[in-house]
Amino acid sequence: MRAVRRRGCPPFPKPTVVGIDDWAWKRNQRYGTIICDLERRRPIRLLPDREPATAQAWLAAQPQIAIVARDRGGSYSLAATKALPQATQVADRWHLMANASHAFLDAVRKSMRQIRSAIGAAIVDPDLLTAAERIQYEGYLRREDADAAILVRAKNGASIKQIVRETGHSRGLVRRILRGQRSDVFRTRESSLEPYLPWLDAQWTAGLHSGSELWRRLKSQGFRGCLRVVSEWAGRRRRAEKADTSSLRRVPSPRTIARLMTTGRDTLSKSESLTIAAIESGVPLLVEARSVIAAFHAMIRKKHDAELDAWIEHAKLSLVASLANGVIKDRAAVRAAIISAWSNGQTEGQITKLKLVKRQMYGRAKIDLLEARLIGAN
């Protein structure tokens, strides 16, 4: 250890293109900053925290830097703007693509009520629920009543502060409900029978309605669940055959719906295709949001920055307006990400290497030893 520390970090040539990102000393508690020379493809400095002032001080001492690649966080943007106002900031393309995908997922979550109506699952028959799902459904009804009470108070002119005081809910929860951002939609739980449902449906259609016999045959196929799970499914299936067609259907999770809507139709099963077709027909705003996200991804892949302003105007009127607002605040860096050859992928790779080095020392190394091992070894 002493020999490694004595060797330290050799002096590095003055960089002109750098990447900057944070890394975790301890996840969700303490973070540091790594700075990489993107032209020479090597890390050149570790900073003990991710405060804007710390990054600003280091960048200000390197006035020759012309390009700063960073993530979408505001702290490094602020530091680079103050320290190097003449430098070009480049947003990370991977984060831009991920932000767009998350924006579409949020749009799906906000549209779950309309989705349930579109696929015919707006009515829940409690008789078709299992015991665990019935408890979940009762909690859902209580939250529905609480949401309705908050909306009524807001419609009558009550302020958020007054609603918080009267209902006892947190300010953040009240704000999400008033903005329509609480997607608390009841859906049946995933079960261990999911991979075997097609086989079970075929056996049921063939006339095998005994839960115990179905369970014994499933065990020979590798099913590791208990008899109760299969018997519960069989009982539910019997009740479902006596119910009307408007009763509960299985609604996929928002994440599953977002994945299916952005997957090629030729790769979907028949039931998945029918579900997505019903959603597209019943929730046209979600189809528009998908086209907006697809246009954003295509713009980044094809490096067509001329389409950015028109895309922003279109996106501002869609369900992914939050993404458009974020792009507006960081427009110059986003445009640079579209047309520039530089991005922060190298820095992410160096962070992976840093994590390996840190874990080899059981996470107990101080920053000088980390620098000596990560940077001095290059």
* 276-326 pLDDT tens trace: 888 999 999 999 999 999 999 999 999 998 999 999 999 999 999 999 999
Whether this model's pTM surpasses 0.85: no
Q: Is the pLDDT of residue 60 over 90?
A: yes
Residue that is written with structure tokens 């959603």 in the block: 279
Measured over all CA atoms, what is the biggest interatomic distance in the chain, rounded to whole angstroms? Answer: 79
Query: What mean pLDDT comes out for the span 205-211?
Result: 87
Percent of the chain with pLDDT over 90: 44
Q: pLDDT digits over 155-175, tens only? A: 999 999 999 999 898 998 898
Report pLDDT digits (tens) over 83-119.
999 999 999 999 999 999 999 999 998 888 888 888 8
Q: For the chain, count helices (H), then strands (E).
A: 19, 5
Mean pLDDT value across the chain? 85
Residue with tokens 């006596």: 242
Report which of 12, 73, 54 is spatially closest to residue 37, judged by C-alpha positions: 12
321 half-sphere exposure, CB direction, 13 A CA radius: 6
Q: Give yes or no for residue 244 having a pLDDT over 60.
A: no
Question: What are the b/e assignments for 25-52, b being 16+ CB within 10 Å?
Answer: beeeeebbbbbbbbeeeebbbbbeebeb
Query: What mean pLDDT comes out for the span 229-244?
Result: 72
Question: What pLDDT is recorded for position 146?
Answer: 87
122: tokens are 């707006």
Higher local confidence (pLDDT), 200 or 133: 200
Residue 70's pLDDT is what?
A: 92
Overall average pLDDT of the 48-68 stretch: 93
Distance CA 312, CA 106 (A): 18
Strands 88-91 and 17-26 turn out to be unpaired
